[in-house]
Amino acid sequence: MKNKLTLQQLQLLTLESQGLTKKSPFGTGKNAVLNAVEHLGYIQIDTLSIIERAHHHTLWTRIPDFQTDYLEELVEERKIFEYWFHAASYLPIQDFRYALPQMLHVKQDASHYYNADKNVMQAVIDTIRAEGPKRARDFETQSSKTGSWWNWKPAKLALERLFMQGDLMICGRRGMQKMYDLTERVLPKSISTAEPAPIEFAEYLIKTYLRAYGFTTVKQITHLRTGNVLKANVNKALQSMMEEGTLSKVDVEGLPPVFIQNNLLEKTFNSTPSHVRLLSPFDNSIIHRDRIKQIFNFDFRLECYTPKEKRQYGYFCLPILFGDQFIGRVDCKTHRKDKKFELIHLFIENTDISTEVWLEPFIEEVKRFAAFNGCESLILTKVSPSKLTAVIKRALFRKESKGGGMT
């Protein structure tokens, strides 16, 4: 067998693995949320709320009946936990031990950016041990001195340091306010706390990416993870898996070496349904910019951290996926008080596809997403290219012949 795949095969494989080709790939209800977190490996948490927060958006995309309470309930049930993947994330509780290397690194690094006062840390631990879970706001401080990192109060900095080094876990949230408790009281007794060996940690990363994306590269596995030791272990683990016959290295024109499970080499790759997905900028499928550019020829960067005058598309653009192609992006904002969802600027970049093909599913998805954001009406401010403005507005705002629905 020649270990070769086409770019389109990789596109279809990764979209299917990401749960973006079926209506309910992980089932329904709260159990689907757990299935999704376990399959994808993590769900990134983000506090930006110009539209519904990213962790809710990412799950809603894959779970039609998703409710925002589900994540919090799963944390309280000790089935998922909050920690760091490449960013703050929800993770399967069964993967707790793979967070230990990061926790121990923080604990052993006296110069880490969470450089909290040891006396304050001890006071925080003692208080939580005696009184139970606490939020940062539950601690009072006499100090008027501002910290050097985000101007955090000493107790808040101590909480975050204790969390990052594994002494505390987040046992729940009140809104976006974290509730901290002792790890020994939060972590189920059945969960292993054996630190993985470096090669075992490399294998965990490889298997996580293979499961979530269908294929992987060394660069993706080590995304935002520095150090030559990890890269060497990843290469060693990949070589071992190939020798065992479970993994193959395949050639794809224009890409670095791609690794894929052998059973997927025989898979039939079917075209995806022609539905539209409005993806979160923090969605697992879009988060690696180089990968998306290589595989889908779609250059995406979130510009909310870019100075306004330097933004090309807008503050909070959502990639628009139609079938297996990214056809554009839309800058959005939720006006919660007025219950209006604004499409600030809709950019259609793939004009080779007829508007008649993607417009109806796009409108259906926009209205569904607006409703998820608690909105009852839409605003369309600008379209590029401008020649599409009239046809999109007519379709978007036409009234249903029988009445009802969002208009």
Q: Which CATH number covers residue 361?
A: 3.40.630
Res 252: pLDDT: 86
- Decide if 87 contacts 43 (C-beta within 8 A): no
Are 304 and 176 found together in one domain? no
- Cα 31 to Cα 42: distance, rounded to the nearest angstrom: 15
Copy the structure tokens of residue 302: 């979130």
Specify the pairing of strand 377-380 against strand 340-348. parallel
Res 339: pLDDT: 97
Copy the structure tokens of residue 403: 């009445």
Full residue range of the structural domain in which residue 355 is found: 298-397
Copy the structure tokens of residue 29: 């209800």
Specify the pairing of strand 258-261 against strand 247-250. antiparallel
* Termini Cα distance of the chain: 54
Are 249 and 303 found together in one domain? no
Name residue, tokens 């209506």.
23
Whole-angstrom CA distances from 102 to 221, 262, 288 are 16, 31, 21
With respect to residue 153, please indicate whether it lies within any of the assigned structural domains.
no
DSSP symbols for 18-80: TT-SSSSTT-SHHHHHHHHHHHHS-EE-----SSS-HHHHHHHHH-TT--THHHHHHHHTTSE
Q: Which of 93, 26, 14 is closest to 65 using CA atoms?
A: 26
With respect to residue 221, please indicate whether it lies within any of the assigned structural domains.
yes
φ/ψ (deg, to 5) at 303: -105, 10
Are 97 and 9 found together in one domain? yes
With respect to residue 149, please indicate whether it lies within any of the assigned structural domains.
no
With respect to residue 17, please indicate whether it lies within any of the assigned structural domains.
yes
Res 111: pLDDT: 63
**Per-residue pLDDT of the chain in tens (407 residues, 90 and over written 9):** 456 788 888 999 999 999 999 999 999 999 999 999 999 999 999 989 999 999 999 999 999 999 999 999 999 999 999 999 989 999 999 999 999 999 999 998 866 667 888 999 999 999 999 999 999 989 865 444 444 444 458 889 999 999 999 999 999 988 778 999 999 999 999 999 999 999 999 999 999 999 999 999 999 999 888 788 999 999 999 999 999 999 999 988 888 899 999 988 888 877 777 899 999 999 999 999 999 999 999 999 999 999 999 999 999 999 999 999 999 999 999 999 999 999 999 999 998 899 999 999 999 999 999 999 999 999 999 999 999 999 999 999 884 434 445 65
Are 45 and 186 found together in one domain? yes
- Cα 93 to Cα 81: distance, rounded to the nearest angstrom: 6
- Cα 51 to Cα 243: distance, rounded to the nearest angstrom: 47
With respect to residue 121, please indicate whether it lies within any of the assigned structural domains.
no
Are 99 and 235 found together in one domain? yes
- Decide if 143 contacts 153 (C-beta within 8 A): yes
Are 265 and 303 found together in one domain? no
- Decide if 290 contacts 219 (C-beta within 8 A): yes
Q: What angle do CA 34, 196, 262 make, to 5 degrees?
A: 65
- Decide if 181 contacts 249 (C-beta within 8 A): no
Are 256 and 303 found together in one domain? no
- How many domains are contained in the chain? 2
Are 75 and 183 found together in one domain? yes
With respect to residue 261, please indicate whether it lies within any of the assigned structural domains.
yes
Res 112: pLDDT: 62
Of 270, 288, 311, the last residue of a domain is 270
Are 361 and 252 found together in one domain? no
Task: Sort 266 into a burial class: Cβ within 10 Å, 0-12 / 13-18 / 19+.
Answer: exposed
Are 202 and 305 found together in one domain? no
Are 224 and 314 found together in one domain? no
Q: Which of 283, 262, 272, 280 is closest to 214 using CA atoms?
A: 262
Q: Give this prediction's pTM.
A: 0.93
With respect to residue 236, please indicate whether it lies within any of the assigned structural domains.
yes
Of 270, 285, 319, the last residue of a domain is 270
With respect to residue 120, please indicate whether it lies within any of the assigned structural domains.
no
- One-letter-per-residue 3-state SS of 105-119: HHHHCCCCCCCCCHH
Are 81 and 224 found together in one domain? yes
Res 225: pLDDT: 85
